[in-house]
Chain A
Amino acid sequence: MALLNSEDWYDIARDTNWTPRYVSEQALFPKELSDVLEMPLELLETFDEPYKVTYRDYVKTQREKDVGAYSVKAALARSQMYENASPGWKALLQMHFGAVSFLEYHSVSAFARMTRFGRAPGMRNMATFGSLDEMRHAQVHLYFAYEYLAKSRTFDWAQKAPRTDNWVIISERHTFDDLEHTRDAISAAIMTNFAFETAFTNLQFIALSADAANCGDFSFSTMLQSIQSDEARHAQIGEPLLKMMIDSGRKAEAQKLIDISFWRCWKQFSALSGTCMDYYTPLDKREGSFKEFMNEWILDQFVAKLEDMGMEKPWYWDLLLEDIEVFHHAQQLGIYLYRPTEWWHPIAGTNPAERAWLEEKYPGWNDTFGQVWDVIIENIRAGRLDSTIPKTLPMLCNMHGLELTGVPGRKWNLKDHTLDYQGRRYHFQSVVDKWIFEQEPERYAGHLSLIDRVAQGIVAPDGVMEHMNMAPEEYGIEGTNYAWVEAYDDALTTRRATGT
């Protein structure tokens, strides 16, 4: 029997809207869950996804992707890749699987919510595939992490992380609950599919995939590529919706959603990917700096996409460009210093050769971030290892949830942007983080960071690790056993010998 071409039946097959008779349209699609801006149904029904796929083709393609990823994994199972990997690459894998696996799993329900409450049939169709995508991503993450479990208990955090109040996990949850899980279907799609997936997943999945291949970690590289091919498809849910918002006079609302989401995602990816690319990836395996990748893959492409859609760059663009130079360097310092509070084993990534690279890529690094590293290096060389871990808690931002940082050293610039709201003082790293809070204070006001919990007496200062559900054997330890500092001794010996 001859099959119809998919273009002959696709549109009618996914036209699944109907007129409800037993409940009202409003009860079926409450605006708080469907579309707070109440775009006309006739407009939403014109949703036309740029990338069309049938279920039959979807399953066939996904099966091939899974076969590819799992086959590479199986083939390399005895390759000793992990055992032979650098401490930095091990740290990167440990951090990635703990930080990302549960986000993939949570995204299943985010897409499912779009499927249930989206009023555009085409959107529901695409979101269904999105949910299936995210199930696959969660499964492949958990499977790969499980395989690593025999090599390091840190990979247990792929399963454990979402059930903890670890400060890194709280920060991620705060961000992605805001964008994906606590908005109406349209807003969540603009924030997740357009601002997050279109702009940022390239960073984690393409750049990291290239670095993984360079490091000989072909199974991780293949896994990331496999995931990114899904992201590129379901990210397209956002574009038709954005166009509808513009066409129906809701451009300002769309712009605000993008501005909020882009900044929130930037902070997460800067801390996660920025530290991995500029500190954890071995120097000779790096494709480029985090800043270079941001400029080429994120800023240029995202701006082009925004302009193509008739949107503006976020209002804080100049602040973003400044932040790209500094934020992840400050976070790397904090991650290294507070390593017992993390499930992975951080490395410094600042031996003399790595510092020269950082100074070349980020002129002024030695006069700023390098000044704090000098103190750390001095302590390690003098055997004062206790002094390389602060005995006081860091302040956390009440928006991004990570350390409230600035620029250290000779160009010291550390600002706390505070806001008093309903009898409580909130602390923000930047005017952008504060601005996001001010757009909808009731959304954010109840949240307590780990520091707020200590300040309010909910958690005792000496009970923080227990509160984060971290047993002593899970505390992060120095990934190199401080071996990186030996290069400074060698450099000093050379300088003394040559009189330079």
Chain B
Amino acid sequence: MSNFPVVCGFEGDYGFKVLMVDRSSTMDDVCAVAADLLAGVVVRPVAPTERLRVRLPDATEPLPPTLTVAEAGFIELETIEIYREPRVLAAVRNDA
């Protein structure tokens, strides 16, 4: 069972949630956990034209989708934001 807690602010949500992930989880894995637990529950479902990204609070750029929690240097209860990005834009970034 995943046992590494991160504090997740999902774009549009009213409050932070605690997600349990693994140190080896990639940012895409973290997004998948957030989508599974929160999209369609507290925020609208993720549309096929959108993909989720992880960024640190106040950062303008997302963290790379393949970056792991350990590689990002997260501590337990690290705060992250998860937001939607149009897949078109992700394609421009070459990480859609």
Q: Which A residues fall within an 8 A CB radius of B?
A: 330, 333-334, 337, 369, 371-372, 374-375, 379, 387-388, 390-395, 403-409, 412, 414-416, 418, 425, 427, 451, 454-455, 457, 461
Contacts and interface: CB of A to CB of B under 8 A. Distances in A.
Given A414-B9, A418-B79, A427-B77, A403 B43 contact: no
B40 interface: yes
Interface of B: 1, 3, 5, 7, 9, 11-20, 37-38, 40-44, 57, 75-79, 81
Contact of A375 (B16, B42, B75): B42
B15 A404 contact: yes
A430 to B, nearest CB: 13
Contact of A455 (B1, B12, B16, B77): B77
A375 B10 CA distance: 14
A470 B79 CA distance: 29
A404 B16 contact: yes
A496 B41 CA distance: 27
A105 to B, nearest CB: 31
B14 A427 contact: no
28 contacts: A330-B14, A330-B15, A334-B15, A372-B12, A372-B13, A374-B44, A375-B40, A387-B40, A390-B17, A390-B41, A392-B37, A394-B17, A394-B18, A395-B17, A405-B16, A408-B13, A408-B14, A408-B43, A412-B11, A412-B13, A414-B9, A416-B16, A416-B57, A425-B75, A451-B5, A451-B18, A454-B5, A455-B76
B17 A372 contact: no
Contacts, number: 106
Nearest to B34: A392
Contacts of A372: 12-14, 42-43
Nearest to A460: B1
Contacts of A393: 17-18
A463 to B, nearest CB: 12
A333, A374, A395, A407 interface centre (most CB from chain B within 10 Å): A395
Contact of B9 (A379, A409, A416): A416
A interface, by DSSP: helix, strand, loop or mixed?
A: mixed
B31 to A, nearest CB: 14
A62 B22 CA distance: 61
A425 B77 contact: yes
A337 B38 CA distance: 12
Contacts of B19: 392
Given A416-B9, A455-B77, A461-B20, A333 B14 contact: yes
Given A415-B57, A416-B7, A427-B77, A369 B14 contact: yes
Contacts of B15: 330, 333-334, 394-395, 403-406, 414
B43 A375 contact: yes
A393 B12 CA distance: 17
Most buried by B among A407, A414, A416: A414
Contacts of A374: 44
A167 to B, nearest CB: 13
A76 B26 CA distance: 62
Given A372-B12, A416-B57, 13 more contacts: A372-B14, A387-B40, A388-B41, A390-B17, A391-B41, A392-B37, A393-B18, A407-B14, A408-B43, A414-B9, A415-B57, A416-B9, A427-B7
Given A425-B75, A427-B7, A454-B5, A414 B16 contact: yes
A379 B79 contact: no
Contact of A395 (B11, B18, B75): B18
B7 A395 contact: yes
Contacts of A379: 40-41
Contacts of B78: 425
B55 to A, nearest CB: 13
Closest 5 CB pairs of A and B: A395-B16, A408-B14, A405-B15, A416-B79, A414-B9
A416 B81 CA distance: 10
A415 B38 CA distance: 18
A388 B38 CA distance: 10
B61 to A, nearest CB: 18
Contacts of A394: 15-18
A342 to B, nearest CB: 16
Nearest to B14: A408
A371 B57 contact: no
Contacts of A404: 7, 15-16
B60 to A, nearest CB: 16
B75 to A, nearest CB: 6
Contacts of B37: 390-392
A462 to B, nearest CB: 9
Nearest to B83: A412
A375 B41 contact: yes
A393 B78 CA distance: 15
A184 to B, nearest CB: 34
B44 A392 contact: no
A10 to B, nearest CB: 53
A417 to B, nearest CB: 10
A414 B13 contact: yes
Contacts of A408: 12-14, 42-43
B6 to A, nearest CB: 10
